[in-house]
Copies of this chain bind each other. A is one copy, B any other.
């Protein structure tokens, strides 16, 4: 292998630590420093996925990027982390940036990639996404043959969600969370409730599958997905 990058983005998969890849595991265990997002109030989910495999003795850089409609504070956190990562790479340290699911599928890794790729070669290890884990948990095909799959974030406006569902054969509505009622309303309007399936925390120890009936009046966490077939 010709001069492996010092900085890697590692997809650690959707939550079950056994869904890590051999490649991510090798690079994770060989790193001098691990970098991961951490909420201000609580533990880092992705660090928990990595925990069973950490050899001990690694330096750790948690990134606390505030969740807010104003992007400036988060941008500042990534700026600061990128400087720190660059300095360590300059000292020859090997760094692993840990990512839930796949690094480039709705993750914050891209903000670090943007900043670091100017000066450094970066390696990226793809990971199992929550989409695949949801399909596996529900035993529900995402697509076959020439079908079109669309991934639609639930925070979008109802009209927007409706229009996007109508343009595909299967919609995966992600990040349902507090948008549950809005999404259920859209599915009802489109007469698609019958075939839709819900799963939360796919592949994690507290994975839960609820029927559409059970969902009415229920609360969904951020890590929740509704798969909606829209076949004629």
A residues near B (Cβ < 8 Å) are 11, 13-14, 16-23, 25-26, 102-107, 110, 113, 117, 122, 124-129, 131-133, 135-137, 139-153, 155-156, 163-164, 167-168, 203
Q: Could you write out 29 A-B pairs with CB less than 8 Å apart?
A: A13-B21, A18-B21, A18-B22, A18-B23, A18-B26, A19-B22, A21-B22, A22-B22, A102-B132, A102-B142, A104-B140, A105-B142, A105-B149, A106-B143, A107-B144, A113-B141, A117-B139, A126-B128, A126-B129, A126-B136, A126-B203, A127-B128, A143-B151, A146-B153, A146-B155, A146-B156, A148-B151, A148-B152, A149-B151
Cα A104 to Cα B197 in complex, Å, equals 15
| B21 x A142 contact (CB < 8 A) | no
Cα A105 to Cα B16 in complex, Å, equals 19
Cα A22 to Cα B150 in complex, Å, equals 29
Residues of B contacting A151 in the complex (Cβ-Cβ under 8 angstroms):
143, 148-150
Copies in the complex: 2
A153/B148 contact (C-beta < 8 A), A18-B26, A22-B20, A105-B135 known: yes
Q: Which residue on B lies nearest to A137, using beta carbons? A: B124
Residues of B contacting A148 in the complex (Cβ-Cβ under 8 angstroms):
150-153, 156, 164
Residues of B contacting A163 in the complex (Cβ-Cβ under 8 angstroms):
167
| B135 x A104 contact (CB < 8 A) | yes
Q: Give the distance to chain B from A145, nearest Cβ to Cβ, in Å.
A: 7
| A20 x B18 contact (CB < 8 A) | no
Q: Give the distance to chain B from A205, nearest Cβ to Cβ, in Å.
A: 13
| A21 x B128 contact (CB < 8 A) | yes
Residues of B contacting A106 in the complex (Cβ-Cβ under 8 angstroms):
142-145
